[in-house]
Amino acid sequence: MRIVGALNLAFGLGGGIYSAAMLSWKWRNLPGAPSMSAWTVFLSLLAISSLLVALLIHLGIRLLGRDESAIRRTAVIFSVEICYFLGYVALFWIVIPLRSPTWPGLAGHFFGMIQGPLAPQIVTGYPVLGLLAMLLIGRRNRIARG
């Protein structure tokens, strides 16, 4: 439980650093001019990504303190992160390019920056591994209680 808590903190910190670096680099090299709707979608989804990472950091601190009530909540956040990434892939890699290939928001991988806070987790598969760990820990605790 404490290992997952420490990993939550590490991935949260790594995601914040990666996101800040990516945004600062791409901001200067952004081709085209995204539309107002593209900016609205971008900022909204970036806020959701950041919120998911912030919640995971909060729950990581609680797991480090051996708070068993954080196990189920952490599993829920991991599940939401998995669904969020799959929805992102479906929307921005499949639906929008097929339906509106000239939408200005697609210029220069503008929406790739949305995943910045979650990028270290996505690359390593941490949400899937973390979800499995939380389910196993929760099951072990239920068995131990009887």
More confident residue, 129 or 19: 129
> Is residue 59 helix, strand or coil?
helix
At 77-92, the pLDDT tens digits run: 999 999 999 998 888 8
Band the pLDDT of 32: cuts 50, 70, 90: low
Q: Write the Ramachandran bin of 112: left for phi over 0, alpha for psi from -120 to 50, otherwise beta.
A: alpha
pTM: 0.86
Burial pattern 2-37, b for ≥16 Cβ within 10 A else e, equals eebbebbbebbebbbebbeebeeebeeeeeeebeee
pLDDT value of residue 106:
58
1 near 65, Cβ under 8 Å?
no
Domain ranges of the chain: 2-145
Amino acid at 2: R
Averaged pLDDT score across all residues of the chain: 86
CA nearest to 116, candidates 43, 64, 58, 62: 43
pLDDT value of residue 28:
67
CA nearest to 3, candidates 96, 140, 134: 134
